Every structure is written in C-alpha cells, then in structure tokens.
Amino acid sequence: MRPSPDGFVARLGRFAIERFAFWLGALRTLGGALSLSPGKAAAHVVHEVSLRQVFFTGVQGLPAVTTTALVLGATIILQTRVIAPGVTGELLGKVLTAVVLRELAPLVTAIIVASRSGTAIATELGNMRAGLEVQGLASLGIDPSHYVVQPRLIATVVSVLVLTVYFNVLAVAGSSITAAVIGGPDPAAIRYGVSATLGWGDLLLYFVKCGGNGVIVGWLCCHFGLQVSSSTTEVPMMSGRAVIRSILGCVLYSFAVTLGYYAAVTEAQLF
C-alpha cells in the first residue's frame, strides 16, 4: 500500500525543504548587503539613504525609548523596595547592571526598533516589490542589496547601538530619581554600584549583543519585505512576519550570548 502524499513524513519533508530554502534566501540577502562596496557612483546615494534611515530609526525613536527606560528604571526601584526594603544602594546598582544594562536594555531596545522601524522597513520594501521598483533597479544594473538592503542594515545596527547606551543612561537616571523621591537608597550609592560592577567585558558584551540584534532586525525585515511577489495584499502579512521573526531572533540570540558570557565569566573565576 502506497503511503499518502499528505502523510506525516511528506509534510515534514516539505517543511524542511521550505525552511532550508527560506534561510538560504535570507543568507543570500545578508551576503549581498555585506558584500563589496556599491562603488563610487552609488556610494553617495547609499550614504544619504542610510542617514535618512538612521534619523527615522534612531532619532524619531527616542520618545519610545525614553519612556520605556525611565519606567523600567523606576519599576526596578519600586519592586526592590517592596521585596527587599533593606537593600543597599551599592547592591541595587549591581542588580541594575546585571538585569537592565546587560540584559534588558539591549533586548528591549531591539524590540522597540523592530516593532517601530522594522515594520516600516518591511512595508516599504514590500510596496517597492509590489510596485516593481526593485525589479526596475535590477534591470538598470543597480544591485538592490546595495541600494535597498545595505543602508537599512547599517541604520538598524547604528540605531540599536546608540539607543541602547541612551536606554542605559535613562534607566539609571530613572532609578536614582525614584530612589530620591520615595526615600530609598542613596542615588549616589546606586550609581557607584553600577560603575563598580561594569568592566571591559561589558563593553565587548555590548557590541556583540547590540550589533547582533541590529543585524537581525535589519536583515530579516529587509528579507521579508523583499519576499512580496506582486500583490500589495501580501505586504501586511510579510510585515507581521518580519517583526515577529526579528523579535524572536533577538530573544534567542541574546539568550545565546548571555549563556556564552556567563560561561566565560564562570570559567575565568575558577582559574
């Protein structure tokens, strides 16, 4: 008896083939954007597009990052005051460093960028595909990976890096202000605990986490936008997929980097 073409093995095989084809295409998109320079003729245009994208992603995203960072910093103080009312400011600064500066700030910033700018990137590129603009660039000998993907990839990486620093500063400021208002630990002691905990390893962790998250957001949002065929009805669907996959990718990537970081720290302490 012949097995059904819609059996479990057949469906699993089709799924595996589709996933392989998707990631192969995604890697081609990333490889094209990271390949050689677009050349002198197109470099000026790419530079201008990158600056406009940085302004939209980074500068115009400041209000969302500002609100989130201040509220998160204040919440840490309020929750700590309820759970451990006798905690010292120095210890609280160490908690802020471990929880907010190392973990939440890079991830939350990437989620904000993906939710706000990632949606716009995927929608814009999807409409360009549906309107045959991307195909028109290719017909003129212009590589879409350089003209379309590369500027947006640069913008998301730069924006996530800068916004994460801004997020960290405001989170510490929000914690200090809240501690002063509610009569909690000394704000100066909190800042001392933060500065005493940070080290050169945190600088490396910052670039690896934030740079990687920026690449994931820009890469996947551009790729999904370019997956639109010829119908504008696909644009919202691809935009939604781009944001969800970007956020999921950032979460998994951040978790993997954190595991590697603390494994390296633990091993260094043992020796």
Please, what's the b/e burial string for 107-143 (b: 16 or more CB within 10 A of its CB; e: otherwise)?
A: bbbbbbbbebbbbbbbbbbbebbbeeebeebeeeebb
What pLDDT band is residue 26 in, cutting at 50, 70 and 90?
A: confident
| pLDDT at 177 > cutoff 60 | yes
Kindly state whether residue 1 falls inside one of the protein's structural domains.
no
Residue 214 lies in a domain: yes
132 within domain boundaries: yes
Structural domain count, the chain: 1
Q: Is residue 24 part of a domain?
A: no
Q: Residue type at 263?
A: A
Give burial (CB, 10 Å; 0-12/13-18/19+) of 99: middle
Q: What is the reported pLDDT for 1?
A: 44
Average pLDDT over residues 100-123: 92
Expressed as residue numbers, the domain containing 260 is 38-270
- Whether pLDDT at 31 is above 90: no
The Cα 97–Cα 93 span in angstroms is 6
Within a domain: residue 193? yes
The pTM of the full predicted model, rounded to 2 decimals, is: 0.86
The CA-CA-CA angle for residues 92, 182, 97, to 5°, reads 20
pLDDT for res 209: 94
**Mean local confidence (pLDDT), 251-270:** 83
Q: Is residue 23 part of a domain?
A: no
Two tokens, residue 247? 């956020």
User: At a CB cut-off of 8 Å and minimum separation 6, what does 196 contact?
Assistant: 90, 93, 94
- Asked if the structure places residue 33 within a domain, the reply is no
Within a domain: 42? yes
